[in-house]
Chains A and B, each alone.
Chain A
Amino acid sequence: MRVAFVGKGGVGKSSLSGSFARVLAEAGERVLAIDSDPMPGMAFSLGLEQSDAGLPDDAVEEYEEDGRQRYRLREGLTGTDAVEQYAQRAPGGVHFMQLGKARGPQWNNRRQHFGFQRLLDDLPGDGWSIVGDLPGGTRQPFLTWGRYARTFLVVIEPTPASLLTGRRLARLAETARAPRVVAIANKVREPGDAERVSSRTGLDVIGSVPFDPALADADRLGKAVLDTDPDGPTATAVRSLVQTLQKSEEQS
């Protein structure tokens, strides 16, 4: 399974994608979790400490093409090698790779930015499931940071701004010919919320996660909700989401 979580800032992409990766691993899959947001996020919900480190500088080399500065993985280093060598191990055996996090005023992130994209072009295939946490908003998720995904999961809260973002993403996906785009309703409080998400965005809602104070509490502690509340509403909802997607993959 190859999925990428997208959506407006703050809708719950990191909380849900990290939990999703852990649940997939629980189900016996080999999982690579990829955080391509330059702001911190997915590490916490996987149950890791936050660090700024991305690909080490010497994993990426600079070269010139037609007078332009470009970046690629170091000679001889495949994407799969990079995952084996540099991914952190999260609970449940999840492999975790992140784009380096913004570090101070002078941080030049070109090497990280483009080196990491080369990694995305050469991710391990057979036998791996990939779960991506993308930056918030509508900044080109389909063609760049999420290009490895077969299914895009748009996380949507039942608020006007989040619904509007969902509609924009659905539109961008059409023009980008993204493979499959579906919605997850998050922070759901009322029975009609999921239906509202689907009617206002035109996207199929394949799962709903209730508004869960335990998730907000875990977040304040910088911990994974799967560790602080392993059988709570979020864990239950994410397990059912994983099952739904596994079934739909079998059929396709």
Chain B
Amino acid sequence: MKIAVVGKGGSGKTTTSAVLARTFARHGHDTLALDCDSNPNLGISLGIGEEATEALVSVRDAVDAGEEQHATSMDDLVSRFGVDAPDGVRLAVVTAIQNPEPDCP
């Protein structure tokens, strides 16, 4: 099952995603929580804490740094750059804007 949660700012996307992910995991499903927001906060709602959320390296940054050459598959990337969250959820951040890039809205 693959679920995407979308909606307006502040309407509860991140909170809903976190509750869904942890609920699936508690029911025994292997669960990957993917934070696709360029301002990623899902870690906070999943319960890994503010500092760990801030320290996460996004898969895109890892790929940009050439790290994917050492990974054999997407699963491998997620296991290298994801982190464990409560209830056995695996969390990975897709992309994060760290540096300004002119002309890119």
Interface residues of A (CB under 8 A from B): 8-11, 39, 113, 117, 135-140, 142-145, 160-161, 163-165, 167-168, 171-172, 175-176
Contacts and interface: CB of A to CB of B under 8 A. Distances in A.
B53 interface: yes
A137 B100 contact: no
B27 interface: no
A177 to B, nearest CB: 9
Given A10-B8, A140-B97, 15 more contacts: A9-B9, A39-B9, A136-B39, A140-B105, A143-B100, A143-B101, A160-B44, A160-B50, A160-B53, A161-B14, A164-B41, A164-B44, A171-B98, A172-B99, A176-B100
Interface string B5-43: 000111100100000000000000000000001110100
Interchain residue pairs A-B with the least CB separation, the first 7: A10-B10, A9-B9, A136-B9, A137-B39, A161-B41, A176-B100, A138-B39
Nearest to A142: B100
Interface residues of B, number: 24
B104 interface: yes
14 contacts: A8-B10, A8-B39, A9-B9, A11-B10, A137-B39, A138-B96, A139-B97, A140-B97, A140-B105, A145-B105, A161-B45, A163-B50, A164-B54, A168-B98
B100 A172 contact: yes
Contact of B105 (A9, A139, A161, A164): A139
A146 to B, nearest CB: 11
B10 A136 contact: yes
Contacts of A176: 100
B66 interface: no
Interface string B52-76: 0110000000000000000000000
Contact of B53 (A117, A136, A145, A164): A164
A83 B38 CA distance: 32
A145 B103 CA distance: 10
Centre residue among A113, A144, A161 by max chain B CB count within 10 A: A161
Centre residue among A11, A142, A164 by max chain B CB count within 10 A: A164
B67 to A, nearest CB: 22
A38 B21 CA distance: 29
A161 B99 contact: no
Contacts of A167: 54
A113 B38 contact: no
B38 A137 contact: yes
Centre residue among B103, B104, B105 by max chain A CB count within 10 A: B105
B99 A175 contact: yes
Contacts of A9: 8-10, 39
